[in-house]
């Protein structure tokens, strides 16, 4: 495993390979197995997105600011997965502080898409998606603030789930936008995701926003059939702006569902057009505050040769953060400033409510929603990273779900020009189990998820 | 021109929780730097705040005690600014939706009672401290205080003099200690005060421009800082100038206030609701619980002491200045079964004097309420005179045992036997025939001479009341 990871360095999917830790944990797993332990994830190698703190293993968030940061604690997700028997083999590359949709903002360089190495893997969990797609690890963790699990899952042809807000603890997950961030699994299949989510989910008294509700048996929940399932087709997701061949793939996938006994229902999310601007006020506003702690005082990067405190702050943050992070800090600072707060932040909060209400109404008529995860397949490296707005529009279908706090999943639904296309399934609040079930049934009758990129 | 002073106070009371408001780290004062801070206090990446329920309970207790509204829903916000002792780059505080609003406190001054409005009280976290003194050109950061829970109590601009401000502060200080939510230690910064001060021509309805005075950490400094600032503002306006809205620092050594920063230099704090903390929701059941554990408050206790024990307003006020003193007094009265006024005199007199002398708090008194009660019973039943009792008390304070032991050991038992006293009186009369004649001739003053002589002859042990009676009877014979 570690050998395969090292041999595929060209993808740049990993920031740190935790060789010693992996061997130690693997040995422990072998011993446990020899002693009769039989947990489903025992000994399964996992890569964690480098946004999750790992005790004793450097955690960079793909930023120069934290390039040498070694946390003294594990994130709850890391802790729980290790308790389930997983072996941590590596930390995956990502967009800096999870800000990006192409994995090009990483201080450690862009990740390449295993299906076409001139293409982006998506982001921000691009390293996790590429690693799973290239079969370097069977599963990985990701985080999703506006689509950062689902969009790279779609672009790399893997399955990725963003759980309901609060389902998985955020403790030890380096914050980008606290009210939107959520950790979730990325793997080849929905079934694997179910096992991983079962290990990750649950209440954590170290996170005041984590939900104190029972976690259902996601694996047992995979079995139910789809007869009578009502799948909502969002009018706005099948409109112009989406590449027609992507929509064709989706229509084929929906026919599979009809074959499984599901019924398609037309629904509308009239306010979803406001989601991107709303998100690009709220997420940067929270980020501008969340990233204030990186000041060079206690840990992380500190610039050299400063005159005074003010100069130390400016140089440290000027040198420690990349351009996209700085752009969002500035946008967020502006949106929260006196005189602009009501016009931007408060208005965005109101829009957020309207967007969430759209989903509530849509779910009166259906059980899940289905549509494209991303408007196009993986785009070329270096094409969109100079135009922030065109980059932001990549997440037009994923962002509303974060704003509403709902669970959503992306699974492979076909190919266009040899590049995978993802289908997004959106569920009711806390209905992850159904999403996994609906995805699993599709994967029983299709093999898109089983396709492996050439050379891996 | 006749000027009116307008004062509003902001008090930061450090809540006496064992752990911090958003982390499990302990809150001990005076520990070595950074030993009372954990990864949450140091704002390491990925760490999150979790609200301490005990701090909420204390804030609610305060709200109920000042007759305020304790809101069912309040919101924590982030106050964003950069400073090395502020690890997250923001302070978690309550802004638009505080937990407590619209309360009041009654103060007593020379002019009588006055009600001071409490605008709001909100929960927030304290910052750390920058340590500049050690090392050359190096600033150290101590995060022990970072995350300590504070209740910021904001008054209405209802006070009209420095004396009223001090009276308010003292009432508030007594109250938070009664409620057991703050230790009130001003030296250690557990109870800090900022004062908003302005002046206006008497009769004006609009408020003058205010200055905010900071760094006033004793009752005396509050008074002096306000008085200085009032003089400064009046002189400024009288000289044709205008008061700038600014923050001023009080320098207790020079006894003056100095400009720290003006309004235009103030930070834009970019407050917004903290997404890491759900809105704080308080249930009716929780509030009932807090209400049920509410102690008797200072004002009510003062009234009750007046009525139940027949004490003067002054004595009742002194004895209820702290819960501990009041408890000591009531324990003494109950154990002694004597006149409560006698107990009051002893507690506010001898006992207070000894405590003061030794620099001790009431809890460290070297004579327990039960022991004091034993002495008071001996005074009441005539075993010892009031004067001898002071010697007994002194010996008890020094650890010589209970009242009866000391009285026996020192032979201070009062002589109340008529025959014995008559015997002494006769001896004194025989020794002083001249003075006796003077008395019989109508010189009443001489009577006290005889009392003194008899007491001296009895080595202070004769019952003074009996000495009086017997002297009056025998001198005339």
pLDDT digits (tens, 9 = 90+) for B49-89: 999 999 999 999 999 999 999 999 999 999 999 999 999 99
> Which among A66, A175, A289 has the least Cβ separation from residue B80?
A289
In Å, how far is B73's CA from the nearest CA of chain A?
16
DSSP secondary structure, B285-299, as one string = HHHHHHHHTPPPPHH
Instruction: Please say if A210 is a catalytic residue.
Output: no
Q: Which residues of B touch A171 (CB under 8 A)?
A: 46-48
What average pLDDT does this structure show over B389-409? 89
- Partner residue facing A53 (CB), from B43, B46, B271: B46
Question: Which of B358, B379, B410 is the last residue in one of the domains?
Answer: B410
d(CA B167, CA A282): 46
Lowest mean pLDDT among A8-12, A209-213, B191-195, B276-280: A8-12
Give yes or no: residues B210 and B318 share one domain: no
B210 and B64 belong to one structural domain: yes
Can you tell me the mean pLDDT for B347-356? 93
Residues of A in contact with B51 (CB under 8 A): 208
Token couple for B3: 């000027």
Best of B46, B50, B77, B264 to disrupt the A interface by mutation (most A CBs within 10 Å)? Answer: B46
Instruction: Identify whether residues B382 and B423 lie together within a single domain.
Output: no
Which of B270, B276, B280 is the best residue to mutate to test the A interface, defined by the most A CB atoms within 10 Å of its own CB?
A: B270
- pLDDT at res. A323: 97
User: Which residue ranges make up each domain of chain A?
Assistant: 2-270+356-450
Which of B 115-174 lie inside 8 A of A, CB atoms? 141
Q: Are residues B317 and B171 in the same domain?
A: no
Nearest CA in chain A to B91: A289
Same domain, B322 and B182: no
And the tokens for A251?
């229509």
Kindly tell me the sign of the dihedral angle through the C-alpha atoms of B310, B315, B319, B322.
positive
Q: Which of A145, A94, A97 is nearest to A124 (CA)?
A: A94
Confidence of residue A309 (pLDDT cuts 50, 70, 90): very high
Confirm if B146 and B47 have CB atoms less than 8 A apart: no
Subunit contact A71:B89, Cβ cutoff 8 A: no
pLDDT exceeds cutoff 70 at B134: no
Chain A positions touching B87 (Cβ under 8 A) are: 293, 297-298
Within 8 A of A173 by CB-CB distance, chain B residues are: 46
CATH class of residue range A2-270+356-450: alpha beta
Chain B environment of A174 (Cβ under 8 Å): 45-46
Of A52, A59, A295, the CB nearest to B82: A295
How far CA A399 is from CA of A135, A182, A210, B237, B240, in Å, comes to 28, 12, 20, 58, 60
Instruction: Please tell me which residue of chain B has the smallest CA distance to A180.
Output: B275
Give the three-class secondary structure for B182.
Answer: coil
CB-based contact B46 A286, cutoff 8 Å: no
pLDDT over 90 (residue B314): no
**Does residue A148 carry a catalytic annotation?**
yes
pLDDT: is A51 or B358 the higher one?
Answer: A51
CA–CA separation, A442 and A413 (whole Å):
9
**Total residues found in chain B within this entry:** 477
Which of A63, A125, A148, A210 is labelled catalytic? A148
Instruction: Give yes or no for a cis peptide into A124 (omega within 30° of 0).
Output: yes
Structure-block tokens of residue A299:
């840990």
Q: Do A171 and B39 touch (CB under 8 A)?
A: no
* pLDDT tops 80 at residue A403: yes
Weakest mean pLDDT among A16-30, B121-135, B186-200:
B121-135
Contact flag B50-A208 (C-beta cutoff 8 Å): yes
Asked whether the predicted pLDDT for residue B135 surpasses 60, the reply is: no
Residues 6+ apart with CB under 8 A from B84: A295, A297, A309, B130, B139, B141
Residue A296 has a pLDDT of 94
Sequence-ordered list of residues with C-beta below 8 angstroms from that of A31, at least 6 positions apart, any chain: none
- Residue B174, classed as helix, strand or coil, is helix
Decide if B50 touches A, using CB distance below 8 A: yes
User: Strand B280-281 and strand B73-74: pairing?
Assistant: antiparallel
Nearest to A234 by CA among A254, A219, A214: A254
Q: Please report the pLDDT score of residue B133 as a whole number.
A: 64
Locate the chain B residue with the closest alpha carbon to A72: B39
| CA pair distance B327, B307, nearest whole angstrom | 17
Query: Of B289, B323, B351, which marks where a domain is finished?
Result: B289
Coil, strand or helix: which one is B324? Answer: helix
Say whether both B134 and B219 belong to one domain: yes
Q: Is the pLDDT of residue B252 over 90?
A: no
Hey, are the CB atoms on A208 and B275 less than 8 Å from each other?
A: no
Q: Are residues B256 and B146 in the same domain?
A: yes
Q: Which of A66, A170, A338 faces B268 most closely, judged by CB atoms?
A: A338
A166 in contact with chain B, both atoms CB, cutoff 8 A: no
Mean pLDDT of B248-277: 88
CB contact under 8 Å between B80 and A338, yes or no, is no
- E strand or H helix at B157: none
| Domain assignment of residue B350, given as a range | 296-410
Q: Which of helix, strand or coil describes residue B392?
A: helix
Nearest alpha carbon to residue A108 among A42, A193, A28, A14 = A14
SS (H, E, C) chain A: CHHHHHHCHHHCCEEEECHHHHHHHHHHHHHHHHCCCCCCCCCCEEEEECCECECCECCCCCCHHHCCCCCCCCCHHHHHHHHCCCEEEEEECCCHHHCCCCCCCCCCCCCCECCECCECCCCCCHHHHHHHHCCCCCEEEEECCCCCCHHHHHHHCCEEEECCCCCECCCCECCCCCCCCCEEEEECCHHHHHHHHHHHECCCCCCCCCCCCCCCCCCHHHCCCCCCCEEEEEHHHHCCCCCHHHHHHHHHHHHHHHHCCCEEEEECCCCHHHHHHHHHHHHHHHHHHHHHHCCCCCCCCCCCCCCCHHHHHHHHHHHHCCHHHHHHHHHHHHHHCCCCCHHHHHHHHHHHHHHHHHHHHHCCCCCEEEEECCCCCCCECCCCCCCHHHHHHHHCCCHHHHHHCCCEEEEEEEEECCEEEEEEEEECCCCHHHHHHHHHHHHHHCCHHHCCCCCC
Chain A partners within 8 Å of B275 (Cβ): 177-179, 209, 286
Query: Tokens 């984590």 map to which residue?
Result: A210
DSSP H or E run through B36: none
Chain A residues within an 8 Å CB radius of B48: 170-171, 206-209
Inspect the interface and report whether the beta carbons of A206 and B48 lie closer than 8 Å.
yes
Q: How many CA atoms lie within 13 A of A74 on its CB side?
A: 11
Average pLDDT, chain A: 96
Predicted confidence band at B338 (pLDDT cuts at 50, 70, 90)? confident
Distance in angstroms between the alpha carbons of the first and the last residue of chain B:
74
Q: How does pLDDT run across A193-227, given as a tens digit for each residue?
A: 999 999 999 999 999 999 999 999 999 999 999 99
pLDDT category at A247 given cuts 50, 70, 90 is very high
Shortest Cα–Cα distance, B276 to chain A (Å): 6
| CB atoms A298 and B275 under 8 Å | no
Region of poorest pLDDT, from A155-169, B290-304, B361-375, B460-474: B460-474
| Per-residue model confidence as pLDDT tens digits over A333-367 | 999 999 999 999 999 999 999 999 999 999 999 99
Radius of gyration of chain B (CA): 30
Q: What is the pLDDT of residue B184?
A: 93
The answer to whether residue A178 is catalytic is no
Identify the weakest region by mean pLDDT among A150-164, A206-220, A436-450, B403-417.
B403-417
**C-beta atoms of A289 and B89 within 8 A:** yes
pLDDT at B136 exceeding the cut of 70: no
Confidence (pLDDT) at B383: 84
Instruction: Give the gyration radius of chain A's Cα atoms.
Output: 21
**Distance (Å, whole) CA B302 – CA B311:** 9
Model confidence at B310: pLDDT above 90: yes
Separation in Å, CA A251 to CA B215, B390, B435:
70, 101, 130
Q: How far is CA A383 from CA A102, A147, A378, A388, B119, in A?
A: 10, 20, 11, 11, 57
- Token pair recorded at residue B135: 């090392």
Is residue A378's pLDDT more than 60? yes
Q: What share of chain B has pLDDT > 90, as a percent?
A: 66
Span A89-130, pLDDT tens digits: 999 999 999 999 999 999 999 999 999 999 999 999 999 999
Do B201 and B133 reside in the same domain of the chain? yes
Are the C-beta atoms of A168 and A155 separated by less than 8 Å?
no
Cα separation, A344 vs A350, in Å, equals 10
Do B249 and B156 share a domain, yes or no? yes
**How far is B2 from chain A, CA to nearest CA, in Å?**
39
Average pLDDT of chain B, as a whole number? 91
Distance CA B261, CA B213 (A): 11
Task: Tell me how far apart the alpha carbons of residues A269 and B447 are, in angstroms, rounded to a whole number.
Answer: 107
**With 80 as the cut, is the pLDDT of residue B14 above it?**
yes
Q: What stretch of H or E contains B181? A: none
Residue A203 to residue B186: CA distance in whole angstroms: 41
Size of interface A-B (CB pairs under 8 A): 99
Instruction: Kindly state whether residues B450 and B346 are assigned to the same domain.
Output: no
The alpha carbon of residue A36 is apart from the nearest alpha carbon of chain B, in Å, by 36
A329 touches chain B (CB under 8 A): no
Q: Is the pLDDT of residue B472 over 70?
A: yes
CATH number assigned to the domain comprising residue B440: 1.10.10.410
Least CB-CB distance to B141: which of A171, A205, A297? A297
Which of residues A68 and B446 earns the better pLDDT score? A68
Q: Report the share of chain B in percent with pLDDT over 70.
A: 99
Beta-carbon separation of B48 and A207 below 8 A: yes
Q: How many domains does chain B have?
A: 3
- Beta bridge partners, B103, equal B118
Mean pLDDT calculated for residue range A323-337: 97
| B314 and B238 together in one domain | no
Q: Do B341 and B429 fall within a single domain?
A: no
Per-residue confidence (pLDDT) for residue B132, from 0 to 100: 75
């Amino acid at each position: 495993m570690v050998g395969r990871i090292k041999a595929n360095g060209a993808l740049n999917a990993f920031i740190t390979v935790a060789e010693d830790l992996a061997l130690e944990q693997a040995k422990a797993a072998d011993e446990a197995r020899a002693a009769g332990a039989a947990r489903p994830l025992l000994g399964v190698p996992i890569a964690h997105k480098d946004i999750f703190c790992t005790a004793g293993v450097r955690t960079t968030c793909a930023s120069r600011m934290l390039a040498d940061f070694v946390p003294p604690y594990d994130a709850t997700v890391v802790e729980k997965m290790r308790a389930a028997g997983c072996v941590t083999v590596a930390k995956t590359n990502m967009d800096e502080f999870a800000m990006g949709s192409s994995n090009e903002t990483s201080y450690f360089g862009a990740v390449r898409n295993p299906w076409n190495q001139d293409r982006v893997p998506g982001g921000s969990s691009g390293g996790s998606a590429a690693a799973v797609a290239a079969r370097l690890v069977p599963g990985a963790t990701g985080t999703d603030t506006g689509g950062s699990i689902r969009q790279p899952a779609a672009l790399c042809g893997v399955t990725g789930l963003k759980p309901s807000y609060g389902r998985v603890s955020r403790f030890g997950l380096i914050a980008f936008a606290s009210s939107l961030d959520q950790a979730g699994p990325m793997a080849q299949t929905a079934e694997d995701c179910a096992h991983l989510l079962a290990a990750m989910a649950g209440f954590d008294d170290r996170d005041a926003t984590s939900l104190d509700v029972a976690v259902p048996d996601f694996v047992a929940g995979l079995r139910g059939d789809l007869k009578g399932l009502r799948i909502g087709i969002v009018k706005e997701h099948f409109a112009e702006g989406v590449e027609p061949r992507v929509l064709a793939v989706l229509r084929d996938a929906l026919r599979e569902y009809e074959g499984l006994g599901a019924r398609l229902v037309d629904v509308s999310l009239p306010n979803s057009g406001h989601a991107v601007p709303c998100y690009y006020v709220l997420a940067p506003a929270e980020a501008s505050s969340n990233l204030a702690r990186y000041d060079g005082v206690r840990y992380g990067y500190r610039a050299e040769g400063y005159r005074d405190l003010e100069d130390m702050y400016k140089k440290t943050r000027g040198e420690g953060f990349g351009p996209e992070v700085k752009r969002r800090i500035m946008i967020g600072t502006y949106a929260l400033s006196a005189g602009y707060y009501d016009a931007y932040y408060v208005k965005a909060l109101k829009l957020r409510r309207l967007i969430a209400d759209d989903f509530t109404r849509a779910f009166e008529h259906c059980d899940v929603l289905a549509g494209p995860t991303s408007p196009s397949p993986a785009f070329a490296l270096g094409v969109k990273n100079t135009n922030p707005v065109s980059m932001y529009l990549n997440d037009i279908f994923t962002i509303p779900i974060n704003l509403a706090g709902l669970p959503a999943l992306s699974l492979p639904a076909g190919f266009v020009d040899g590049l995978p296309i993802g289908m997004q399934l959106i569920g009711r609040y806390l209905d992850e189990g159904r999403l996994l079930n609906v995805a699993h049934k599709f994967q029983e009758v299709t093999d898109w998820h089983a396709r492996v990129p050439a050379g891996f | 021109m006749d000027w009116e002073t307008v004062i509003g106070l902001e008090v930061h009371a450090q809540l006496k929780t064992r752990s911090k408001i958003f982390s499990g780290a302990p809150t001990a004062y005076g520990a070595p730097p950074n030993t009372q801070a954990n990864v949450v206090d140091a704002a390491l990446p990925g760490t999150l705040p979790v609200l301490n329920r005990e701090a909420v309970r204390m804030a609610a207790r305060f709200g109920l005690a000042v007759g305020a509204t304790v809101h069912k829903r309040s919101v924590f916000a982030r106050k964003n600014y950069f400073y090395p002792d502020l690890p997250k780059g923001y302070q978690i505080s309550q802004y638009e939706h505080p937990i407590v609003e619209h309360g009041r406190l009654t103060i007593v001054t020379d002019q009588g009672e006055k009600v001071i409005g409490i605008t709001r009280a909100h929960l927030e976290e304290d910052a750390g401290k920058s340590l500049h003194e050690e090392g050359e050109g190096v600033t150290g950061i101590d995060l022990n205080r970072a995350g300590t829970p504070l209740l910021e109590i904001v008054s209405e601009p209802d006070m009209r003099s420095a004396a009223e401000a001090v009276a308010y502060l003292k009432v508030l200080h007594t109250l938070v200690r009664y409620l057991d939510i703050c230790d009130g230690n001003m030296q250690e910064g557990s109870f800090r005060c900022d004062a908003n001060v302005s002046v206006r021509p008497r009769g004006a309805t609009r408020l003058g421009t205010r200055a905010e005075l900071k760094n006033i950490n004793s009752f005396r400094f509050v008074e002096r800082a306000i008085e200085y600032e009032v003089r400064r503002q009046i002189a400024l306006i009288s000289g044709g100038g205008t008061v700038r809205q600014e923050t001023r620092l009080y320098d207790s050594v020079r006894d003056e206030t100095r400009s720290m920063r003006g309004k235009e230099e103030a930070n834009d704090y970019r407050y917004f609701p903290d997404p890491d903390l759900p809105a704080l929701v308080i249930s009716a059941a929780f509030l009932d619980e807090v209400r049920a554990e509410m102690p008797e408050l200072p004002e009510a206790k003062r009234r009750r002491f007046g009525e139940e024990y027949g004490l003067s307003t002054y004595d009742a006020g002194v004895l209820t200045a702290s819960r501990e003193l009041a408890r000591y007094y009531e324990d003494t009265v109950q154990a002694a079964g004597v006149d409560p006024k006698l107990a009051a005199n002893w507690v506010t007199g001898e006992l207070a004097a000894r405590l003061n002398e030794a620099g001790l708090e009431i809890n460290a008194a070297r004579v327990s309420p039960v022991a004091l009660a034993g002495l008071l019973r001996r005074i009441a039943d005539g075993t010892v005179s009031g004067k001898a009792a002071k010697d007994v008390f002194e010996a008890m304070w020094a650890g010589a045992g209970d009242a009866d032991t000391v009285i026996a050991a020192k032979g201070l038992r009062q002589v109340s036997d008529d025959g014995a006293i008559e015997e002494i009186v006769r001896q004194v009369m025989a020794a002083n025939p001249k003075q006796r004649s003077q008395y019989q001739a109508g010189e009443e003053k001489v009577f006290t001479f005889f009392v003194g002589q008899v007491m001296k002859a009895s080595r202070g042990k004769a019952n003074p009341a009996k000495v009086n009676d017997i002297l009056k009877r025998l001198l005339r014979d």
